[in-house]
């Protein structure tokens, strides 16, 4: 169990992160509305605009994903289970939680997972990262 002070610090980090994501999402929404207004104007290179827009959408998917993670971390904080590894049940150190507040794994299980993923991507022969790998990238220490 974390001390009340540690819980408070972690809660503050999570809430600040949520705030930041919501701000980003709002900015993204403004961008889309701007785009709606611009439809029909032929001064814009359409293919370039499409590209910007799809990047924007991908970004928002990632934000949604992170937002979910933050919300469930806040829930775990509330329940007092935030420092329990969901894989092995061992304690996740406060230091690790402060660095990665949304993590659900202790460092041992995380490293284990990373090895698995690396092996997987080697089998598949993937070079670059695709959309659903991005959140995992963010989890790196």
Contacts 24+ apart (CB under 8 A), 51-56: 56/28, 56/31, 56/32
Binding mask 67-96 for Zn ion (x = CB under 5 A): ------------------x-xx-x------
Please, is 9 exposed, middle or buried when counting C-beta atoms within 10 Å of its C-beta (0-12, 13-18, 19+)?
middle
| Cα–Cα dist 61/98, whole Å | 24
Q: Which 3 state secondary structure label does DSSP give 101? A: coil
Instruction: State in angstroms the smallest separation of the CB of 83 from Zn ion.
Output: 11
109 binds Zn ion per the rule CB under 5 A: yes
Quick one: how far is CA 70 from the chain centroid? 8
Which residue lies nearer to Zn ion by CB, 54 or 93?
Answer: 93
Which residue lies nearer to Zn ion by CB, 1 or 88?
Answer: 88
Burial 68-83 (b: 16+ CB within 10 A, else e): ebbeebbebbeeeebb
Which residue lies nearer to Zn ion by CB, 60 or 69?
Answer: 69
Q: Stretches 15-23, 39-47, 53-61, 102-110: which one binds Zn ion (CB under 5 A)?
A: 102-110
Which residue lies nearer to Zn ion by CB, 8 or 111?
Answer: 111
Instruction: State in angstroms the smallest separation of the CB of 96 from Zn ion.
Output: 11
Which spans of this chain sit near Zn ion (rule: CB under 5 A)? 85, 87-88, 90, 106, 109
């Amino acid at each position: 169990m974390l001390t009340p002070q540690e819980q408070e610090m972690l809660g503050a980090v999570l809430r600040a992160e949520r705030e930041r994501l919501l701000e980003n999402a709002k900015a993204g929404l403004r961008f889309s509305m701007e785009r709606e207004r611009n439809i029909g104007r032929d001064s814009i290179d359409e293919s370039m605009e499409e590209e910007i827009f799809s990047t924007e959408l991908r970004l928002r998917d990632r934000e949604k994903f992170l937002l979910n993670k933050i919300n469930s971390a806040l829930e775990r904080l509330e329940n007092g289970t935030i420092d329990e590894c969901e894989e092995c049940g061992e304690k996740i150190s406060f230091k690790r939680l402060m660095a990665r507040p949304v993590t659900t794994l202790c460092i041992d299980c995380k490293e284990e997972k990373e090895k698995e993923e690396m092996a997987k991507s080697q089998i598949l022969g993937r070079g670059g990262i695709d959309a659903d790998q991005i959140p995992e990238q963010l989890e790196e220490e």
